[in-house]
Amino acid sequence: MKSKIVFLFSGQGSQYPNMGKELFLNHPIFRKSIENSNVVFTNRLHRSLIDELYYNNTFHFNELLITHPAIVAIEIAMLETIKAYNVFPDYVFGQSLGEFVAAVASGVWTASDALEAAIEQAKRVGRSSVSGGMLTVVSSVAHREFKVYEQYGLYLAMDNFKGHFTVSGSLTNLDRYQHKLETDQILYSRVPVNVPFHSSLILEGFNGFSYLGGLDTELSTPNVSYVSSLNGGLKKRFDYQYFDQVVSSYSDFSKGICYLEQQEPCLYIDLGPSGTSANFTKRSIAKESKSYVYTILSPYTNVFRQLEKLTNNL
């Protein structure tokens, strides 16, 4: 039985300095896509996305106005690159900001619309007074089951796989919970964002108004099966408010993978910058699963070798 191809897209927290630089310098399709994104970025922000990604001394990890569109641009470029190898998805599945590009891959909206939306979303949050952060608990079934984070005023942002979850809230409350985790000798990592995504706090940044509805184009019905991180199943109709919901509401990555595993064996291809979605997927599927998970781009892989290996095995 031939495996179904699933494109995976990750969100905030998957960024790092010089992501995709090897492809930008040596792969014409990837480079052209980034250059196209740079036109949108420069027109809206009067800055160069290419400079921010590859030529400034310090990548702005905590500047949402840079990281939000940068992640989207990298994933769009990865999408265009993989399509050039005649690899096309049967399903798309994004988490959080990754759904912006999943919608591009499934024909819901265009690449430029996705970038415009990411920029405007970052602007609205920047104009607000909302602040905070996110923290990932690496392994604690007990803290998740008994909702220990709620004792510290935090919100459950994401379930990534069993015992691995992300919480969101104010910096003060995150610091308090971090101390608890250290006391309990539980591994954690702070997500490199200064915004409490996937919490009710982020809604203050949107002020109950969705600019995204002001975009000129209408959203289309997906032409590829689209798995939503909000309900863990297929989504067939979209409005612009949905793309505010995907960064402000709770998401369950493992539930989406569970849905996909119930269909047929899958070949999961992570088109995010860091292999985050591939990592979550490997830990969400059963040991006896006949599915395969593939990472292309990360700080630790030879991207051209990974592309060659993938295409040779299809």
Q: How many CA atoms lie within 13 A of 133 on its CB side?
A: 19
| Residues in the chain, overall count | 314
**Strand-pair partners of 5:** 267
* Contact residues for 54 (Cβ-Cβ < 8 A; gap 6+): 18, 21, 24
Check residue 311 and give its pLDDT. Answer: 86
pLDDT at 215: 63
Rounded to whole angstroms, the Cα distance separating 153 from 140 reads 18
The tokens describing 196, both together, are 């409490």
Q: Is 193 exposed, middle or buried (0-12, 13-18, 19+ CB in 10 A)?
A: buried
Whether residue 212 contacts residue 240, with contact meaning beta carbons closer than 8 Å, is answered with yes
Q: What's the confidence (pLDDT) of residue 15?
A: 87
114, 120, 79, 116: which is closest to 97 by C-alpha? 114
Phi and psi at residue 3, to the nearest 5°? -70, 145
Intervals of the chain under pLDDT 70: 1, 58-62, 205, 207-217
